[in-house]
Amino acid sequence: MQRHPAPPGHPAFTVTPLAEGDLHAVAGLTFPSYRPLLEKVTSAEQAKEQVIALVARSAGGPVGLVMASYSLLESISPAGKSTAPLNILSMMTTPLWRHCGVASALMKALAEEGKRLGLTCMNVRYTTKIESLLAFEHLLLSAGWCAPQPSMQLSLFKISDMASAPWLPKVTAPNPEYELFPLTELRDEERTRLMAGIAAGDIPEGLSPFADEEHLVPELSFGFRKGSDVVAWMTLIRSPFVPDALCYRSLFVNPKLRMANGFGPFLAAHAFRHHLTSPVKEERPKGLFGTSYTATKELNFVRKRLAPHCCDLYESRTATLPLLHE
Ligand SMILES: CC(C)(COP(=O)(O)OP(=O)(O)OC[C@H]1O[C@@H](n2cnc3c(N)ncnc32)[C@H](O)[C@@H]1OP(=O)(O)O)[C@@H](O)C(=O)NCCC(=O)NCCS
């Protein structure tokens, strides 16, 4: 247990691993979608994704919580060391205890735990919409993290606005030898071929039609094939982090077919129309379109076609702290 000096006007606080008796008291110190994970921390269950939760507590109870996870399946380096990162899921302190060093102490304790586990670095991904962006980035800086890097441009829109954008009816229909199909009708041999493409690195794992499959909205996710060759897809997911929006998760067109075919805008327009007329629209009337800052062509499409019909534009950022082992 680490004891920390009292900030002026506050009693001291300690940092310890989450205990079973803490569950109720710390639930408000993380995002609703991570609350079920807290129970996994205190159970002996061996999952492939291990969760760590550290609690800062004063005499009056918990005042801060950090949650992080790491994969037991990720690669081991030739030297036998785990190369898995420790991913921060959430970091929060109670408002009365902010600016008192609580998050700094949690961060330090988490880094020590990461080193103890033999992990090589800590990562965090967050959006510029988080409640305390300034404070959080200050915390990263003062804890020695590398400067945060922009990762995705995020475009939030009401589907009723996007589906009535004037460019939509002008999108060219593809040559009839191409067929649009619901991803639920993906054939076994097509799945096998796509999996082989992912394994060979031809299809980035993060953009595969199987990414975040557990959150997929099957009736609104489509593939695009010529014969038995799946050349493009657009998947939509229910992200637990954006409860009123459908996330336009993976828009991918085979690189050989990207020039001048207009398949990307065709698939996006198709998804917008289906979202508008689907019953899912009642539950999630907004859409969130994420575009990597490395996808120059898609970024141009987003800036020109989507941005004028969005209600909010923001970004996600990532940051890293190498965990140096003596
Ligand atoms: C972000 C958050 C965790 C910081 O917690 P905290 O306990 O106040 O942080 P600390 O007191 O340890 O301060 C860490 C550093 O940030 C600075 N800082 C804290 N609050 C700040 C603020 N509002 N503005 C600018 N800097 C701030 C501190 O001065 C300190 O830097 P220093 O070491 O150079 O002095 C807290 O504000 C919070 O819970 N916010 C809501 C949840 C959230 O947005 N979490 C982030 C992503 S999950």
Give the end of a domain, one of 145, 176, 208.
145
What's the CA-to-centroid distance between 98 and ligand 1, angstroms? 6
> Any residues with CB less than 8 A from the CB of 171 and at least 6 apart, and which?
262, 265, 266, 269
Residue 86: strand pairing partners: 122
- Residue positions counted in the chain: 326
State residue 115 phi and psi, 5-degree precision: -65, -40
Q: 143 CB less than 6 Å from ligand 1?
A: no
Q: 100 CB less than 6 Å from ligand 1?
A: yes
Domain tally for the chain? 2
Same domain for 176 and 116: no
Using most ligand atoms within 8 A of CB, pick from 37, 139, 241, 317 the residue to mutate for ligand 1.
139
Residue 262 amino acid letter? G
Instruction: Give nearest CA residue, ligand 1 atom 33.
Output: 142
Three-state SS letters, 126-182:
EECCCCCHHHHHHHHHHCCCCCCEEEEEEEEEEHHHHCCCCCHHHCCCCCCCEEEEE
* Residue 188 included in any domain: yes
Domain CATH for 283: 3.40.630.30
Please measure the distance between the N-terminal and C-terminal CA atoms of the chain and give it in whole angstroms. 22
Give the end of a domain, one of 110, 145, 180.
145
Same domain for 106 and 51: yes
CA distance 288 to 3: 43
Residue carrying structure tokens 């990263």: 140
Instruction: Give nearest CA residue, ligand 1 atom 18.
Output: 135
Instruction: Give nearest CA residue, ligand 1 atom 24.
Output: 135
State residue 93 phi and psi, 5-degree precision: -120, 155
Cα-based distances in Å from 50 to 118, 213, 220: 14, 20, 32
Same domain for 140 and 59: yes
* Residue 214 included in any domain: yes
Its domain, for residue 37, covers 2-145
Phi-psi region of 136 (alpha: psi -120 to 50; beta: other; left: phi over 0): alpha
Same domain for 177 and 32: no
Question: One digit per residue, pLDDT tens: the chain, 326 residues?
Answer: 565 665 566 668 999 999 988 999 999 999 998 998 998 887 766 677 889 999 999 988 999 999 999 987 665 555 555 668 999 999 999 999 999 999 999 999 999 999 998 899 999 999 999 989 999 999 999 999 999 999 999 999 999 999 999 999 999 888 899 999 999 999 999 999 999 999 999 998 888 999 999 999 999 999 999 998 999 999 999 988 899 999 999 999 988 888 767 899 999 999 999 999 999 999 999 999 999 998 888 899 999 999 999 999 999 999 999 997 66
